[in-house]
Amino acid sequence: MQNTTLKKIAETMGCSISTVSRALKHHPDISVKTREKVLELAAILDYEPNAFAVHLRTKHSKLIGLLVPAISNHFYESFISSVEEESRKNGYSLMILQSANDPDIESDNLRLFRQNRVTGLFACITADTTDLRHYNKMKELDIPVVFFDKVPEEKGLNKVCLADERAAFIAAEAITQAKKTKILALFGDPKLSITQKRRDAFERYIHKNNKGASIDLVFAKNSAEAETDTYKALEKTKKPDVVFCMSDELLLGAMKAIRQKQINIPRELGIITISNGFIPSLYYPEITYVETSGYKLGKLAFTQLMACLSGQPPLQELFVESSLVEGGSL
């Protein structure tokens, strides 16, 4: 069956299309009597405005693009969920694409977003994104981009991030207060600025406030690498007394190694991570973590995008604060 259109309503009512259109949006030009009739008829015929026609005409797509590395990820999930919620509340639809951490797919997706004339875009860049041309093209087309989580280094972009330094700082503080000195620190891809920031903050704090502590610094690209690296570290004669993981992914790997070696937490070894809290709650004792909420980040990103859309874009880098959540692992 065909969809009801303004034309169909107009014809069955015996009036013009524009009258119908205006009546439906309570335009003062239309008399109450006709408006009522139109509204009634529209309800009967189940009229649903054709979003494509509306967007084509108004040039306002009410569509927001969202680019994440992967949907199946415990952090992005909560971000997505939160953004979807806000979008729907504000009458926007969401177009979600995954880059799979591949710059080629990323640029394909950005093209798709452009073709769909998204009103705005949330983007999390891949580890290998070096070419920002596609993003710049968005700017040329007046499509505001709010980068989140993994953001480019460039200045003058809208970014919302977890307070990476702060989170690492808090973790380092907790380790220091727990009087741990032999630290195994697991970080992710060293190319990413998030890694650099967390690492810097972590080392700075430890060197300044935890004199005599040693840091065994390891970069692991994924969970499996984290596992082997942790395993190796635990076989050394000078075993660590605490493990710091900068992400859930690394925590998973580290915990597997720890379980294999049957090491008791927290008696023999402390562990702390940066997380949104889901994974840490799976273990017993629960893992102490510095909270970084994808949910909050999503809310913040949305506000930021709305600000861009409705006025002068406040080009700036915003942060979601972190806090320590005590499990029993430290």
Binding site residues, DNA, CB under 7 A: 2-7, 14-19, 21-22, 24-25, 28-35, 47-50, 53-54, 56-59
Q: 3-state DSSP: the chain helix, strand, coil percent, rounded to 5? A: 45, 20, 35
Q: What angle do CA 75, 76, 81 make, to 5 degrees?
A: 110
DSSP 281: G
Choose the binding region for a second copy from 156-164, 168-176, 254-262, 314-322 (rule: CB under 8 A): 254-262
**Pairwise CA distance, residues 254 & 225, whole Å:** 9
Residue 167 phi, psi dihedral angles, 5° rounding:
-60, -45
Radius of gyration of the chain (CA): 26
117 binds a second copy (CB under 8 A): yes
- Single out the segment in contact with a second copy by CB under 8 A; choices: 18-26, 34-42, 113-121, 199-207: 113-121
Strands (E), 38-134: 63-68, 93-98, 120-123
Among 40, 51, 190, 222, binds a second copy (CB under 8 A): 51
Name the binder of 94 from a second copy, DNA, none, CB < 5-8 A by kind: a second copy
CA distances (Å), origin 60, targets 48, 130, 140: 17, 30, 16
How far apart are the C-alpha atoms of 301 and 316, rounded to whole Å? 12
Q: Which does 224 bind (CB under 5 to 8 A by kind): a second copy, DNA, none?
A: none
Which option in DNA, a second copy, none does residue 39 bind, with CB closer than 5 to 8 A by kind? none
Q: Is 84 in the site for a second copy (CB under 8 A)?
A: yes
Q: Is residue 55 close enough to count as binding a second copy by CB under 8 A?
A: yes
CB 276, min distance to DNA, A: 40
Residues near a second copy (CB under 8 A): 1, 3, 46, 48-53, 55-56, 61, 70-73, 77-78, 80-81, 84-85, 88, 93-98, 105, 108-109, 111-112, 114-117, 137, 140-142, 252, 255-256, 259-260, 279, 282-284
